[in-house]
Amino acid sequence: MQIFKNSFVKLVVIVFGVLLIGVTIMQTTASNQSVSSVSKSTQSSVKTKVNANTNKNNKENIGNQQYIRQIYTYLHDEYGMSSSSIAGILGNWIQESGIDPIAVAGDWAYRSLEHTKSSTDTHKDIGFAQWSSKRRQNLIMFANQKYQGRWWEAQCQLEFMTQQDGSFVTVLKNYALNDRGDVVQNAVNFNDDWEVSPDEKNIIASTRGKNARLVYQYMQKNNMTGAADNLKIQKLVYLGKDLPY
C-alpha cells in the first residue's frame, strides 16, 4: 500500500511538471510572436517614412539646398544675374555635382571633405561645375593664392568663376546678358557654351532643363526672384594678366 501511495505521488508530480513546462512554452511562444509582430510593424513604419522622404527628395531633385542662396546672393548682388539665369546654372550643377563644392568625380557614394582634400593632386574633375583640365588647374592655383589651397570652399569657386576662369568669364557675361527668362533654355545655353558637358544634345532639356525648372520653383518660393542688372553684369571681366584658355 505504501508503495502504491509513493508511486501515485510521483505520478502526480510528473504530470504537474509536464503541465507547467507546457504552459511556460506556450507563454514564451506567444510573447515572441507579439514582439516579432511589433518589430515588423515598427520596421514597416520606418521603411515607409524613409521611402516617403526619399521620394520627396527625388521629386524635388534640387541638389544641396544649403548652397543655393549663397550662389544666388553672390551672382545676383555682385554681378546682377537674374534668378532665371542663376536657375539655368544650378540646373547644370545639380547634374554635375548635386550643387556640392567638395564634389570630386566618381565620389557620390563616399563623398567627404577628407576625400576631397586627398583628391587635390589627382586629375579628377572637381567642385560645383566639375572643373577639369586647365580650368581645374587654374581653380587650384587661384585657391593656393587666395584661399590657402581650399578650392573646395564655395566662395572660392564663385570668385574663380566670375574673375579668373579665363575666356569663360566672358562666356558667362554673354550668357547673363542674353537671358530671356526661359529657365530650361538657359540651362541648355549654359551647358552648350560654359559647362560644355559630353551629354547627348537631345537630353539636355529633359535633364538639366528639368533641374533648372525645379530649382527655379524653389527659388521663387524662397524670395530669390531678382531681375537682371546689366550694369552689374558688365563687371564680369577676367582679372588675370593673360588668358590661359
> Could you tell me the pLDDT band of residue 68, with boundaries at 50, 70 and 90?
very high
pLDDT of residue 172: 98
Query: Quick one: which of 244, 75, 92, 73 has its CA closest to 173?
Result: 75
Q: Which amino acid is at 118?
A: S
pLDDT of 114-153, one tens digit each?
989 988 988 999 999 999 999 999 999 999 999 999 999 9
In the DSSP assignment, the letter for residue 131 is B
Segments making up each domain of the chain, as ranges: 1-60, 65-233
Instruction: Give 61's pLDDT tier (boundaries 50, 70, 90).
Output: confident
Residues 6 or more apart whose CB falls under 8 angstroms from that of 91 comprise 183, 186, 187, 190, 208, 209, 210, 211, 212, 213, 214, 215
pLDDT, position 119: 87
CATH architecture of 65-233: Orthogonal Bundle (1.10)
Structure confidence by residue, pLDDT tens digits, 149-193: 999 999 999 999 999 999 999 999 999 999 999 999 999 999 999
